[in-house]
Amino acid sequence: MGKEKIIPVLALIILIIGASSTFYVYATEENTVVNADTIVINNVPCNIEQIFTMAEPRVFDSLNYSGVALDDLVVKLGVECPECHTYTITGEGDYQKTVKWENMQNGLLTKEKMVVFTDLPKAFRVRGIIEIEVE
């Protein structure tokens, strides 16, 4: 008699957990897709097209990359005393790299949302940029 009541209750609990986790995954994916072309820079959400119209273009012929200058972008977004800060760049999957102002002056953001620096090793190339945090 006890097993006949416990098994359906456990099955119902498992179904509820499965349904709620599925709902959570779809809600999270939808939120990511909506903001796919947005990068948060110094707590300001910016569309990738806005970024490319506001900042100075930069080309790294030696690395075969083109994009916008990170130093110009930070200045145009109103960061006071940019040389006084460090910058944490976060990509997809929470991959993060922290750089100094000197590095930002040698960096660019590509249309593919990748950050490249001429003065740092490849390990500092961050893809799928989500945020540039000014610290």
Contacts of 129 by beta carbon, 8 Å cutoff, 6+ apart: 39, 89, 90, 91, 109, 113, 114, 115
The pLDDT score that the predictor gives to residue 32 is: 47
Mention every residue, 6+ apart, whose C-beta is less than 8 A from residue 2. none
Query: Averaged over 102-113, what is the pLDDT?
Result: 94
Query: 0.75 exceeded by the pTM?
Result: no
Least confident of 22-26, 36-40, 74-78, 79-83: 22-26
